[in-house]
Amino acid sequence: MYKVVRGVVGHDGERYPVEGYGLKRDDGKSFLSLKGDGITLDAAGRVYGSSSDTDSVRKHCRFHRVVMKGRMTVEGDDYVFAMRGRAFRLCPCSVKPEPLPEEVEAPTMS
């Protein structure tokens, strides 16, 4: 299972930032559920690559081919879609950890 932390869906010249979750099974089948301001997208499809192992992205290529079909709702209008594209893997070393906020003590009543 993967968390989509920064995604963009384009529709009619508009770009919608989205986030959500994706699942890729060992047999190549994938599922995706994304939500954003004014848009929802649910899809199922297939991921093509030289191996079902996610390390193959790093060793052999920088992306996998993806084919999906699904449904989306954009500002109240429902659509059915089919798409082909590429899924890119982010390098884990490019992600910078953020410090956790300090715990705030609860005020005491006197």
What are the pLDDT digits (tens) for 29-63? 889 899 999 999 999 999 887 554 555 444 555 77
pLDDT, position 45 = 93
Has residue 107 been placed in a domain?
Answer: no
pLDDT, position 18 = 93
Residue 27 confidence class, pLDDT cut points 50, 70, 90: confident
Whether residue 18 contacts residue 9, with contact meaning beta carbons closer than 8 Å, is answered with: yes
Has residue 103 been placed in a domain?
Answer: no
Q: Domain count for the chain, please give it.
A: 1
Has residue 98 been placed in a domain?
Answer: no
Domain that holds residue 35: 2-91
Has residue 99 been placed in a domain?
Answer: no
**Distance between CA atoms of residues 86 and 65, nearest Å:** 5
